Amino acid sequence: MRYWAAAKAAAGTAEEPYAAATLAEALNAARAAHAANPEFARVLLRCSFLVDGDPVGTRDHAAVPLAEGGTVEVLPPFAGG
């Protein structure tokens, strides 16, 4: 998982591995791993996600499969371009 901007700050790291079959599982594991910092869970609520470069959009996170060795980008809202 790659964290950007506020997600990176809340996680305290730019990137960490995941071991999950779906995006929902990966996010639940990340929330548990960062439970000591409640800001992390709050930031995730506002984030958009890319899985292997494809936007997740409004799809149910439990229905978004993750490939072994794939990439999840965690993108909080930000201004600029």
DSSP letter (8 states) at residue 50: E
The pLDDT value given to residue 80 = 56
The pLDDT value given to residue 70 = 96
Q: Which residues does the chain have with pLDDT short of 70?
A: 79-81
The pLDDT value given to residue 40 = 97
The pLDDT value given to residue 67 = 94
pTM of the model: 0.92
